[in-house]
Structure 1
Amino acid sequence: MIRQFQWRDYDAVTGVWESAGREVVPRAELEAKLARDPELFLVAETGRRIAGVVMGAYDGRRGWILRLAVHPDYRRQGLASRLVAELEARFVRLGCPRVNLLVMPDNEAGLRFWQELGYLPCPDVLCTKPMGTPVSRD
C-alpha cells in the first residue's frame, strides 16, 4: 500500500534510507518539508513494514522527486515504480507541468530505471551551496 508519510513512520523510513545507503534527512528538515507539501512524502507499506519511500516537492512551477529508496529485501517487486506513479499522480492533481530529479552520474542502474519511466537526461550543470554559514562579501 502506498500512503502519505506519518511521523510514526520516521524510524522505519530512516531505516530504509540507511539500508539503501542514502543520507538520512534530519527531523528538522522534514518538519519544514511537511509544512509545505506533506501529501508529496510517500511510503510503501508491505504488511506492517515500511519497505520504500519517496519525497516529492512542488514550488508552484516544477516538481522534484527526491530520496526514492526501497529496502533491499523488497527490491525488484515494483515498489519504486508504484511510489513514483503515485507521486506523479499527486503532481498532476496539483497542476505541476514538469517534474525533475537528480541521478548521480555513476548510478547506471538508477539512470536506466528513470529512463524506463520516461525521464530523459538533461545536460544541465548542477550547482549547489550549503546555506549553513553566511558568505562574507568583503
Structure 2
Amino acid sequence: MIRSFRWDDYDAVAAVWAAAAREVVPRAELELKLARDPELFLVAVDGERVTGVVLGTWDGRRGWILRLAVDPARRREGIATALVRELEGRFRALGCPRINLLVMPENEAGLRFWQELGYLPMPDVLCTKPL
C-alpha cells in the first residue's frame, strides 16, 4: 500500500534511506518541506513495515522527485515503480506540467530504471550552493 508519510514513520523511513545508501533527511528539513506539500512525501508499507519511500516536491512550476529508496531486501518487487506512479498522479492533480529528478552519472541502474518509466536524460548542468 502507498500512503502519505506520517511522523511516526520517520525512524523506519530513515532506516530505509540508510539501508539504500541515501542521505537521511533530518527532521528539521522535513518539517519545512511538509509545511508546503505534505501529500508528496510517500511511503510504501507492507502491514506496518515501511518498505519504500519517495520524497516529492513542487515549486508551483516543476515537480521534483527526490530520495526514492526501497528496502534492499524488497527490491525487484515493483515498489519503486508503484511509488513513482502514485507520486506522478499526485503531481497531475496539482496541475504540475513537468517532473524533474537527478541521477548521478555513475548510477547506470538508476538511469535505466528512470528511462524505463519514461524519464529522459537532459544535458543540463547541475549547479549548487550550500547556504
TM value normalised by structure 2:
0.99
Amino acid at match of 1:96: C
1:2 aligns with 2:2: yes
1:63 and 1:39 map into 2 onto residues whose CA distance is: 13
2:45 and 2:97 map into 1 onto residues whose CA distance is: 28
- Superposed CA deviations along residues 24-44 of structure 1, whole A, max 9, x for unmatched, are 000000000000000000000
Deviation at 1:48, TM superposition (A): 1.4
Q: Give the root-mean-square deviation of aligned CA atoms.
A: 0.3
Deviation at 1:73, TM superposition (A): 0.9
Corresponding position of 1:67? 67
Identity of aligned residues (%): 76
TM value normalised by structure 1:
0.94
**What is the SS of the residue equivalent to 2:31?**
helix
Deviating 4+ runs (over 3 angstroms): none
2:59 and 2:15 map into 1 onto residues whose CA distance is: 28
Amino acid at match of 1:116: E
**What is the SS of the residue equivalent to 2:54?**
strand
Amino acid at match of 1:15: A
Gaps of 5+ in 1: 132-138
Number of residues of Structure 1 aligned to a counterpart in Structure 2: 131
2:92 and 2:62 map into 1 onto residues whose CA distance is: 11
Amino acid at match of 2:101: L
Corresponding position of 2:17? 17
- Superposed CA deviations along residues 105-136 of structure 1, whole A, max 9, x for unmatched, are 000000000000000000000000001xxxxx
2:94 and 2:48 map into 1 onto residues whose CA distance is: 29
Gaps of 5+ in 2: none
**What is the SS of the residue equivalent to 1:106?**
coil
Corresponding position of 1:125? 125
Amino acid at match of 1:13: V
1:83 aligns with 2:83: yes
2:2 and 2:126 map into 1 onto residues whose CA distance is: 31
2:23 and 2:58 map into 1 onto residues whose CA distance is: 21
Which of the pair has more CA radius of gyration? 1
**What is the SS of the residue equivalent to 2:96?**
coil
1:119 and 1:71 map into 2 onto residues whose CA distance is: 23
